Amino acid sequence: MMFPTLDPLLHSELRLAVVSLLIGMEEAEFPYIKEQTGATAGNLSVQIEKLSSAGYITVDKGFKGKRPCTLCRITPEGRKAFEDYVKALKSYLVKPKK
């Protein structure tokens, strides 16, 4: 039996957590993602950049009043990559033969 390759981009715990959050909410602000994942701001920024570069999420930087606001959104490519990842991961749960 051949096991499918797991997307190395999503196989990182923090990147998988970010995409998992966004799958359920469509979009989230940076502080919320940071709080939910327990990541440091620096590490989270690096991982968000990797997801953005791959086209899995979009990142919009702006302001809420005078405060900076970074908003992350899942893309259709990111949604498909996540669904494919979950499907591939499930195939690793081999049912024993009777």
Bridge-based pairing of strands 57-64 and 27-29 is: unpaired
* Residue the block writes with tokens 């990559």: 81
What dihedral do alpha carbons 20, 25, 26, 32 form, nearest 10°? -80
Tell me whether residue 65 is in a domain.
yes
Task: Report the CATH number at residue 51.
Answer: 1.10.10.10
Tell me whether residue 3 is in a domain.
no
98 pLDDT exceeds 70? Answer: no
> Which residues are 17's β-sheet partners?
none
Tell me whether residue 29 is in a domain.
yes
> Which residues are 29's β-sheet partners?
71
Q: What is the pTM of this model?
A: 0.89
Count of structural domains within the chain = 1
Domain hosting residue 19, numbered range? 13-85
Give the model's confidence band at 92: pLDDT under 50 very low, under 70 low, under 90 confident, else very high. confident
Instruction: Report which DSSP code applies to 1.
Output: -
Question: pLDDT tens digits for 30-41?
Answer: 999 999 999 999
pLDDT, residue 96, reads: 62
- The phi, psi pair for 66, rounded to 5°, reads -105, 0
pLDDT, residue 97, reads: 67
